[in-house]
Amino acid sequence: MVRQVIQDPNPFLHKKSPPVSKGAFRSGSLKKIIQDMKDTLAAQDGLGLAAPQIGESPCIFVIPDNIAPEVRTPFAPLSFIKPLHPTVFINPKILYYSKEKETIDEGCLSIRGVFRPTPRSYEVKIRALDERGRKFSLKTKGLLARVFQHETDHLEGTLFINRF
């Protein structure tokens, strides 16, 4: 179901998301939130969506399945059939930020029409769980690295305009 994207200054956007528990992976409610996030992102013009942006608190973000596939480098065990290119990131943690920075205009679905030059690390390595609760990690650069940083900021209660 497509949900409304919450707009700043809604205080919900400024709260830290609690981690998803292991038991939650057996619940239908987690699957429903993830599907709603995918549906909502598909109906938008964004590159990612974090759960707080639709009024949900779990530590989850999603990206479209067609975003920058050429820069995804899986560091997951070969035994993983899926996801070599995950689109759902549960309890994500960025493990590495490159010293090299890139500053480009950044926007947000929760702050419509606002774009600001935002410095971000050019390369990151992220670890997360997929929809089934399996661990994976990815190292990426450029646009996808920026998206990972932007979405993990959402899960910490930080908007890109708060970085100034």
Query: How far is the C-alpha of 130 from the C-alpha of 83, rounded, in Å?
Result: 7
Query: How far is the C-alpha of 150 from the C-alpha of 47, rounded, in Å?
Result: 10
Active-site positions?
A: 151
Q: Where are the alpha helices (DSSP H) in 121-160?
A: 143-155
8 Å CB contact between 15 and 50: no
Query: How far is the C-alpha of 104 from the C-alpha of 117, rounded, in Å?
Result: 5
